[in-house]
């Protein structure tokens, strides 16, 4: 049993970015200038998105991060706070600007993204130490790779020491030391990241059945990762749980059929939803089923944080 008052608490550690998006007919070639036909500034960053998704789905979420003392920082603090996220551990940097993602999207939805880490790059193990009270009460610690690996490692260690479930979203992909893999209770990857992590290994086709994933489960387990979620876009996801009883170690989670209009940030919605449901006591497979609905609903609206569903929306779809 979790001590009184700790059930459901989630600490999300990582990035907050302002997404600066230009829409255009086609993406420019190197050296070329093209005209855009629209511009938007939206709150983003993987960790801010994951925190908002988890909070809207009923999680008690603290975000540990850094923004600059500027208008983009103020926008991000307002957006995360209005979703119910505790932002008291988001540091305002006087030396670095808020992180930005400069995004171009063409008429087919194809995009190019350049990220400037800004204040996210200043997040350090000292920020993890400063947030020790939040880690001590955490049921789930949710991490991604948009801040330095040493910060992620410090957060994973703090979560582990507190007895929390450490959920690592290996995105954007980077090689991680085995020590970080060992501290990760649940790894969350898309199919491309899964393949890269396993040394450019072949992963089954997105519509392959559960049995086809057995070699992948074994490869992850050999790397010390016994609980892995692989997202497969419109094809749903697969749960690889080497700690489950034989016969139920692989679960294919069917996609939730929706009319998708914008899948940007669907992966973050999925991750936030998994964090919320693990904190609520769900099994990995139950959390993935719930997250499948939440991420699909997020894809039915343009944008990221503003498009993320509330828990009632998911429950209505599940009913
Ligand atoms: P990422 O954006 O990180 O690569 P995915 O594309 O795998 O992640 O999407 C994450 C999850 O979002 C999927 O596992 C699925 O549950 C959901 N999802 C994404 N695209 C769609 C879609 N077109 N229809 C329904 N669900 C989707």
Strand, helix or coil at 304?
Answer: coil
Predicted pLDDT of residue 5: 44
**What is the side-by-side strand order in the sheet with 86-93?**
86-93, 60-68, 9-13, 140-143, 165-169, 186-190, 227-231, 237-241, 250-253
Strands (E), the chain: 9-13, 17-24, 36-44, 60-68, 86-93, 99-105, 111-116, 140-143, 165-169, 186-190, 227-231, 237-241, 250-253
Q: Is there an atom of ligand 1 within 6 Å of 272 CB? A: no
CA dist., res. 117 & res. 45, Å (int): 10
CA of 109 to the centre of ligand 1 (A): 15
Q: How many CA atoms lie within 13 A of 117 on its CB side?
A: 11
Name which of 259, 260, 290 is nearest 275 in CA terms.
290
Predicted pLDDT of residue 7: 53
Q: Is there an atom of ligand 1 within 6 Å of 289 CB? A: no
Predicted pLDDT of residue 162: 97
pLDDT band at 170 (very low <50, low <70, confident <90, very high): very high
Q: What average pLDDT does the structure give for the chain?
A: 95
Predicted pLDDT of residue 216: 97
Answer yes or no: are the C-beta atoms of 290 and 314 closer than 8 Å: yes
Residue with CA nearest ligand 1 atom 1: 267
Is the ipTM reported for this complex over the cut 0.95? yes
pTM of the model: 0.95
CA of 126 to the centre of ligand 1 (A): 34
Q: Is there an atom of ligand 1 within 6 Å of 194 CB? A: no
Answer yes or no: are the C-beta atoms of 15 and 65 closer than 8 Å: yes
80-94, 200-214, 222-236: lowest mean pLDDT where? 200-214
Answer yes or no: are the C-beta atoms of 290 and 253 closer than 8 Å: no
Name which of 270, 251, 255, 256 is nearest 209 in CA terms.
251
Predicted pLDDT of residue 2: 42
State pLDDT tens for residues 115-155: 999 999 999 999 999 999 999 999 999 999 999 999 999 99
Quick one: which atom of ligand 1 is closest to the CA of 237? 14
Bond before 172 cis per omega within 30 degrees: yes
Residues in the chain: 319
Residues marked as catalytic = 268
Name the residue of 53, 287, 295 to mutate for ligand 1: max ligand atoms within 8 A of Cβ: 295
Quick one: which atom of ligand 1 is closest to the CA of 296? 26
């Amino acid at each position: 049993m979790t001590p009184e008052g700790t059930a459901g608490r989630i600490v999300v550690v990582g990035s907050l970015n302002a997404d600066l998006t230009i829409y255009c007919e086609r993406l420019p070639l190197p050296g070329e200038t093209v005209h855009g036909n629209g511009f938007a500034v939206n709150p983003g960053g993987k960790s801010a998105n994951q925190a908002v998704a988890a909070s809207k789905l009923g999680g008690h979420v603290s975000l540990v991060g850094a923004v600059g003392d500027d208008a983009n920082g103020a926008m991000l603090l307002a957006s995360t706070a209005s979703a119910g996220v505790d932002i008291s551990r988001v540091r305002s940097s006087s030396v670095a600007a808020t992180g930005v993602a400069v995004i171009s999207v063409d008429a087919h939805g194809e995009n190019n993204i350049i990220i400037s880490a800004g204040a996210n790059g200043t997040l350090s193990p000292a920020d993890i130490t400063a947030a020790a009270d939040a880690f001590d009460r955490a049921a789930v610690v949710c991490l991604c790779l948009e801040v330095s690996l040493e910060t992620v490692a410090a957060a994973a260690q703090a979560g582990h020491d507190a007895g929390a479930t450490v959920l690592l979203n290996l995105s954007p992909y980077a090689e991680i030391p085995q020590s970080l893999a060992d501290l990760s209770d649940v790894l969350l990857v898309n199919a491309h990241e899964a393949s890269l992590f396993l040394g450019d290994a072949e992963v089954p086709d997105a519509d392959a059945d559960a049995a086809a994933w057995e070699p992948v489960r074994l490869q992850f387990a050999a790397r010390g990762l016994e609980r892995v979620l692989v997202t497969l876009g419109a094809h749903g996801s697969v749960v690889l749980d080497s700690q489950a009883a034989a016969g139920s170690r692989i679960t294919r989670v069917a996609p939730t059929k929706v009319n998708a209009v914008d899948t940007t940030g669907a992966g973050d919605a999925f991750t936030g939803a998994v964090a919320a449901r693990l904190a609520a006591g769900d099994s990995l497979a139950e959390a993935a089923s719930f997250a499948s609905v939440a991420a699909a609903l997020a894809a039915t609206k343009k944008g990221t944080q503003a498009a993320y569903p509330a828990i009632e929306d998911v429950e209505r779809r599940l009913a």
